[in-house]
């Protein structure tokens, strides 16, 4: 209404000015004294000029009247339906392209440097260690280091500790994977519950004993199955410091594949559980098994008020370098942080693994002799053929001296005289006799060492926080502060290699189907939490809380925990065994279905004008979601909206905290469809065919795409009904390139379609911002040019194939070990290309034998119009021992660096979710050495 008034007033003012100007002109002519003195005789030429001007003025007045009429009609049309936003009505230009008019509102907002911490880089002290620089300087060789194969000989003087005793903290721990070789529930039943049950009794036998636990998911399941007396005992053990809950996450998450929202979610879920049930707040982070480490985790842990953390899986060459420079402990800082606000103290374990043979010191042959689970007669032994011996009065001096030598050598790699020695491995302490063997024998060693002042050592059981507290005390700083002389580091620790050239980069792309399902669940969880919160708040404010199903909160909790469980470093990574992957998939799908119920209930309540009419009936939901999945390993099937004489309604939700303009695509049963906004305003739509293959349309199913603007965290409603508005229902045009293949192509009278049997000329798609060129032969992207720039940027795509080695070590779920350089992907037949062009989006689909790729360009103002959507769907069931990759070459200026080359191997296995990389899903042999007796598996090369 405000716009209508403004335009009307403006038009009226223009009209009044024009009329008043004409009046003044005529009045001046009539009353001009000079003209009266001349008897009123005008020269004929002047009369003619005046007459022409009057005629021109009359014509202008008439045009002005028409303009005002048009403006008035436009205003009435725009404001006919309350406050609805103007519809985007594209038009077809003479050169054959669609144009969407610009919006009156700005599409972009300016950003002040103060708004972005990245813009503040360069201020303050730079870190001494920048991982990009370190990686460029290291040779990454693999020199034999003696007993410490990946390191070097360590020497010391017995008098090095005369001034200050060596303080040793031995930290018993058990790393419990929430799914890997066995499922989560099977691990719990067969091992984890026994570990935790024994923990309660064994720690209470001696107050000097300590234990570390990290996986809250297992702990919460166990907690639900124990009695009140045992719960009270656990709280006492936590309270007196014998049991430490480290990190406090639902799992020990992967740090390469997980989205930071999911990392935060699983951390919050674990911390809230600990606070509610144990009254505990984690202080230290413990990450011994993720396959490489991201700076995102220290940032999140620091923001969660943790002061210290530990990491383990770092490239052996980096570990060696940091050991030689005494840089294994550092303040980990974000690369964009100009000061120390994001710093967290980090300890990097120096040796090959976190098992007992690789934690007491540099020589695994000796350290294995102090893993008392391997005493003769047990199920596992030491691969170095020297077994442990029980500690007695007769041998304690000799055994203590041997162990102390390892402690002293390890301590020479660090800057303080406080030493951390983990004592555990995967699923350790699952039998009571192991608790006894470890605690009794180590306590005898500690008692002897501590009774010898000349040795200058104090050894004890401890937790991770015990170690950090002692280090801070020795260095004279508050917990979490930077000890004097310790370096500051920024960067990440990817990619990880544990030996030779065994780079753990295969898991970046293993089982991509489930990686995608993870993101789907994450998006639905965020949307469900927002809608549930809005609905509950509204129902409480309206006094209708009793009518709303608050039981949906339990579904949200279950979904958060399922998502958290899948962030585990053997879940989202795709590195678990087949049966475990199936178990994860079933859990993900079950939670996805539950979240859709929460979304349906909340949206139903929120869209109702009269909230008192809301009725919750789980057997007859008011709404249904736009896609379904038949199984955990099935691609989603989209819902087809059946159109008839009655209108159909679609509810849309924007889960972002900012307004967005997006194209929404729906499947309908007729190409004759009209779409209206919530206010009843007709909307322009693009109608396209729905294809089942490269050349076959699905009968009686059509895709309707409509651009719609949704408010932040807001809902919108579309009305669909049968009908045809030729000005607003705009069909796509299609070109199909067969490249000589004899294939029948479906046709429909609603869509212009042209079949091109042969032709290899390049072609382009364009919108108001850019022009995108494609290869006429391959259908793949070649270059991009922005309309406001003359230079074209090369963005050249190609498919490549990697083979795998014929040796014992092969590429798999963990490792990427190709047999050489990638070779071009050569399909049996030339690809079929399908080019769709329309008012709101255009796309190129290239159909190859094993993959089809879609590149879509949106014709919209704003951010979406400045981006390309690229997606690939892959079926490699007959591609055994091969990996398909998409490589992108660009000539984008990298500020002095070489032209960029990007490679994405996630294409492999998309349609075959169980296949991973077509190879074994287990860890490489060196990953968890305690599970296997062979010396080649335990001893690093």
Which among 134, 17, 128 is positioned nearest to 64, based on CA atoms? 17
Q: Does 26 or 839 have the greater pLDDT score?
A: 839
Residue 712 DSSP code? T
Residue 627 main-chain phi, psi, to 5 deg: -150, 160
Crossing angle for the helix pair 260-277 and 296-303, nearest 10 degrees?
Answer: 30
Range with lowest mean pLDDT among 775-779, 786-790, 918-922, 924-928: 918-922
**Residue 708 in tokens:** 């719609």
Q: Does 709 or 180 have the greater pLDDT score?
A: 180
Q: Are strands 697-710 and 685-691 parallel, antiparallel or unpaired?
A: antiparallel
The yes-or-no verdict on residue 526 having pLDDT over 60 is yes
Mean pLDDT confidence for 454-477:
98
Give the DSSP H or E segment for 424. Answer: strand 418-426
Residue 480 main-chain phi, psi, to 5 deg: 90, -10
Q: Count Cα neighbours of 633 within 13 Å in the Cβ-side half-sphere.
A: 15
Rounded to the nearest 5 degrees, what angle is found at the Cα of 755, between the Cα atoms of 754 and 759?
115
- Burial (CB < 10 A; 0-12, 13-18, 19+), residue 137, is exposed
Question: What percent of the chain clears pLDDT 70, i.e. is strictly above it?
Answer: 82
Domain 509-639 and domain 733-915, same fold? Reply is no
Q: Are strands 793-803 and 781-786 parallel, antiparallel or unpaired?
A: antiparallel
The reported pLDDT for the residue numbered 32 is 45
pLDDT tens across 230-258, in order? 999 999 999 999 999 999 999 999 999 99
DSSP-based three-state secondary structure for 636: coil
Range with lowest mean pLDDT among 14-23, 482-491, 517-526: 14-23
Report residue 131's pLDDT band, with 50, 70 and 90 as the boundaries: very high
Residue 844 main-chain phi, psi, to 5 deg: -120, 125
**Residue 733 in tokens:** 């045009």
Q: Dihedral (C-alpha) 527, 529, 531, 536: value to the nearest 10 degrees?
A: 180
**Residue 322 in tokens:** 């940091």
Domain boundaries, the chain: 164-508, 509-639, 648-689+705-731, 733-915
Query: According to the per-residue pLDDT averaged within each range, which of 69-78, 266-275, 601-610, 781-790 is highest?
Result: 266-275
The yes-or-no verdict on residue 881 having pLDDT over 60 is yes
Alpha-carbon gap, residue 521 to 193, rounded angstroms: 29
CATH class name, domain 733-915 = mainly beta
Alpha-carbon gap, residue 695 to 941, rounded angstroms: 55
Mean pLDDT confidence for 643-666:
92
CATH superfamily, with its number, for domain 164-508: Glycoside hydrolase 38, N terminal domain (3.20.110.10)
Going 816 to 294 to 566 to 922, the CA torsion angle's sign is positive
The reported pLDDT for the residue numbered 904 is 60
Report residue 759's pLDDT band, with 50, 70 and 90 as the boundaries: confident
Whether omega before 148 lies within 30 degrees of 0, making that bond cis, reads: no
The reported pLDDT for the residue numbered 72 is 46
The yes-or-no verdict on residue 281 having pLDDT over 80 is yes
Report residue 851's pLDDT band, with 50, 70 and 90 as the boundaries: very high
The reported pLDDT for the residue numbered 91 is 67
Q: Does domain 509-639 have CATH number 1.10.10.10?
A: no
Mean pLDDT confidence for 907-927:
33
Report the chain's mean pLDDT, rounded to a whole number: 86
The reported pLDDT for the residue numbered 715 is 92
The reported pLDDT for the residue numbered 726 is 84
**Residue 587 in tokens:** 């859990």
Which among 352, 343, 347 is positioned nearest to 310, based on CA atoms? 347
The reported pLDDT for the residue numbered 920 is 28
Which among 692, 562, 585, 582 is positioned nearest to 637, based on CA atoms? 692
The reported pLDDT for the residue numbered 439 is 98
The yes-or-no verdict on residue 918 having pLDDT over 50 is no
Give the DSSP H or E segment for 348. Answer: strand 344-348
Catalytic sites, residue numbers: 289
The yes-or-no verdict on residue 917 having pLDDT over 60 is no
Residue 738 DSSP code? -
Mean pLDDT confidence for 700-704:
95
The yes-or-no verdict on residue 145 having pLDDT over 60 is yes
Going 230 to 235 to 236 to 237, the CA torsion angle's sign is positive
Distance set, CA 748 to CA 83, 118, 585, 698, 753 (Å):
38, 52, 39, 10, 8
Predicted TM-score of the model (pTM): 0.85
The reported pLDDT for the residue numbered 108 is 55
Alpha-carbon gap, residue 908 to 875, rounded angstroms: 8
Report residue 757's pLDDT band, with 50, 70 and 90 as the boundaries: confident
pLDDT tens across 497-513, in order? 999 999 999 999 999 99
Alpha-carbon gap, residue 391 to 558, rounded angstroms: 48
Alpha-carbon gap, residue 818 to 795, rounded angstroms: 25
Q: Does 925 or 174 have the greater pLDDT score?
A: 174
DSSP-based three-state secondary structure for 593: helix
Decide if 169 contacts 462 (C-beta within 8 A).
Answer: yes
For 307, left (φ over 0), alpha (ψ -120 to 50), or beta? alpha
Going 10 to 11 to 14 to 15, the CA torsion angle's sign is negative
Alpha-carbon gap, residue 216 to 620, rounded angstroms: 37
Report residue 423's pLDDT band, with 50, 70 and 90 as the boundaries: very high
The reported pLDDT for the residue numbered 719 is 95
Report residue 543's pLDDT band, with 50, 70 and 90 as the boundaries: confident
Alpha-carbon gap, residue 906 to 908, rounded angstroms: 5
pLDDT tens across 36-83, in order? 444 444 455 556 666 666 666 666 666 565 555 544 444 444 444 434
Decide if 18 contacts 60 (C-beta within 8 A).
Answer: yes
Report residue 616's pLDDT band, with 50, 70 and 90 as the boundaries: confident
Rg (CA), the chain: 36
pLDDT tens across 336-394, in order? 998 889 999 999 999 999 999 999 999 999 999 999 999 998 889 999 999 999 999 99
């Amino acid at each position: 209404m405000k716009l209508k008034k403004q335009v009307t007033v403006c038009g009226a003012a223009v009209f009044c000015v024009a009329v008043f100007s004409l009046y003044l002109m005529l009045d001046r002519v009539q009353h001009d004294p000079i003209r009266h003195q001349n008897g009123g005789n005008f020269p004929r030429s002047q009369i003619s000029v005046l007459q022409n001007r009057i005629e021109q003025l009359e014509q202008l007045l008439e045009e002005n009247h028409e303009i005002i009429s048009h403006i008035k009609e436009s205003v009435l049309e725009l404001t006919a339906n309350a406050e609805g936003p103007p519809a985007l009505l594209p038009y077809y230009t003479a050169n054959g392209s669609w144009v969407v008019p610009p919006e009156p509102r700005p599409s972009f907002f300016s950003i002040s440097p103060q708004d972005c911490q990245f813009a503040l880089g360069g201020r303050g002290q730079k870190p001494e260690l920048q991982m990009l620089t370190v990686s460029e300087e290291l040779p990454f060789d693999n020199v034999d280091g003696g007993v410490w194969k990946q390191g070097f000989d360590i020497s010391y003087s017995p008098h090095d500790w005369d001034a200050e005793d060596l303080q040793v903290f031995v930290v018993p721990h058990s790393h419990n994977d929430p799914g890997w070789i066995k499922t989560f529930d099977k691990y719990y039943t067969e091992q984890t519950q026994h570990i935790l049950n024994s923990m309660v009794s064994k720690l209470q036998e001696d107050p000097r004993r300590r234990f570390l636990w990290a996986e809250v998911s297992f702990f919460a399941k166990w907690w639900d199955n124990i009695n009140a007396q045992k719960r009270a005992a656990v709280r006492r053990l936590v309270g007196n410091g014998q049991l430490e809950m480290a990190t406090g996450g639902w799992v020990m998450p992967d740090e390469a594949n997980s989205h930071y929202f999911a990392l935060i979610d699983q951390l919050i879920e674990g911390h809230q559980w600990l606070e509610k049930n144990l009254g505990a707040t984690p202080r230290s982070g413990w990450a011994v098994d993720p396959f490489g480490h991201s700076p995102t985790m220290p940032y999140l842990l620091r923001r969660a008020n943790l002061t210290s953390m530990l990491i383990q899986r770092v490239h052996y060459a980096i570990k060696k370098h940091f050991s030689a420079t005494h840089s294994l402990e550092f303040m980990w800082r974000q690369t964009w942080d100009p000061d120390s606000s994001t710093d967290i103290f980090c300890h990097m374990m120096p040796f090959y693994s976190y098992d007992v043979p690789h934690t007491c010191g540099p020589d695994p042959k000796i350290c294995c002799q102090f893993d008392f689970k391997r005493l003769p007669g047990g199920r596992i032994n030491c691969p170095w053929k020297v077994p442990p011996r029980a500690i007695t009065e007769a041998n304690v001096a000799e055994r203590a001296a041997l162990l102390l030598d390892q402690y002293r050598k390890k301590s020479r790699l660090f800057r303080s005289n406080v030493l951390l020695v983990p004592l555990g491995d995967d699923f350790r302490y699952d039998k009571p006799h192991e608790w006894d063997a470890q605690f009794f024998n180590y306590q005898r060693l500690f008692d002897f060492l501590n009774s010898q002042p000349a040795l200058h050592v104090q050894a004890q059981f401890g937790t991770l926080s015990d170690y950090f507290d002692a280090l801070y005390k020795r260095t004279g700083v508050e917990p979490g502060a930077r000890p004097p002389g310790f370096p500051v580091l920024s960067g990440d620790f990817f990619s990880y290699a544990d030996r030779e050239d065994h780079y753990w980069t295969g898991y970046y792309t293993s089982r991509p189907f489930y990686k995608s399902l993870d993101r789907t669940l994450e998006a639905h969880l965020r949307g469900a939490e927002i809608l549930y919160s809005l609905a509950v708040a509204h129902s409480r404010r309206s006094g209708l809380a009793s009518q709303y199903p608050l039981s949906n909160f339990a579904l949200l909790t279950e979904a958060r925990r399922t998502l958290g469980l899948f962030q585990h470093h053997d879940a989202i990574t795709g590195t678990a065994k087949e049966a475990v992957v199936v178990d994860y998939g079933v859990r993900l799908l079950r939670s996805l279905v539950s979240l859709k119920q929460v979304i349906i209930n909340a949206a139903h309540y929120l869209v109702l004008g009269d909230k008192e009419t809301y009725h919750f009936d789980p057997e007859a939901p008011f709404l249904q979601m736009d896609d379904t999945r038949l199984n955990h390993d099935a691609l989603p099937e989209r819902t087809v909206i059946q159109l008839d004489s009655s209108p159909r309604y679609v509810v849309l939700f924007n889960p972002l905290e900012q307004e967005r303009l997006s194209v929404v695509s729906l499947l309908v049963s007729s190409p004759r469809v009209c779409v209206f906004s919530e206010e009843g305003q007709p909307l322009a739509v693009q109608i396209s065919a729905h294809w089942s293959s490269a050349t076959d349309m699905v009968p009686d199913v059509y895709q309707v795409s409509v651009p719609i603007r949704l408010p932040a965290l807001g809902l919108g409603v579309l009305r669909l009904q049968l009908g045809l508005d030729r000005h607003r229902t705009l069909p796509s045009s299609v070109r199909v390139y067969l490249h000589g293949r004899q294939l029948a192509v479906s046709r429909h009278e609603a869509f212009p379609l042209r079949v091109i049997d042969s032709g290899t000329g390049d072609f382009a798609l364009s919108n108001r911002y850019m022009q995108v060129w494609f290869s006429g032969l391959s259908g793949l992207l070649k270059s991009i040019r922005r309309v406001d720039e003359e230079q074209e940027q090369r963005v050249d795509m190609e498919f490549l194939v990697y083979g795998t080695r014929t040796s014992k070590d092969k590429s798999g779920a963990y490792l990427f070990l190709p047999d050489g350089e990638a070779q071009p992907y050569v399909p049996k037949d030339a690809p079929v290309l399908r080019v769709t062009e329309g008012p709101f989006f255009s796309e190129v689909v290239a159909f190859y034998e094993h993959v089809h790729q879609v590149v879509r360009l949106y014709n919209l103002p704003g951010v979406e119009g400045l981006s390309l959507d690229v997606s690939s769907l892959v079926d490699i069931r007959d591609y055994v021992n091969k990996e398909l990759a998409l490589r992108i070459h660009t000539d984008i200026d990298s500020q002095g660096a070489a032209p960029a080359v990007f490679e994405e191997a996630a294409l492999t296995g998309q349609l075959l979710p169980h296949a991973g990389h077509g190879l074994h899903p287990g860890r490489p042999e060196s990953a968890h050495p305690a599970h296997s007796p062979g010396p080649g598996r335990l001893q690093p090369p």
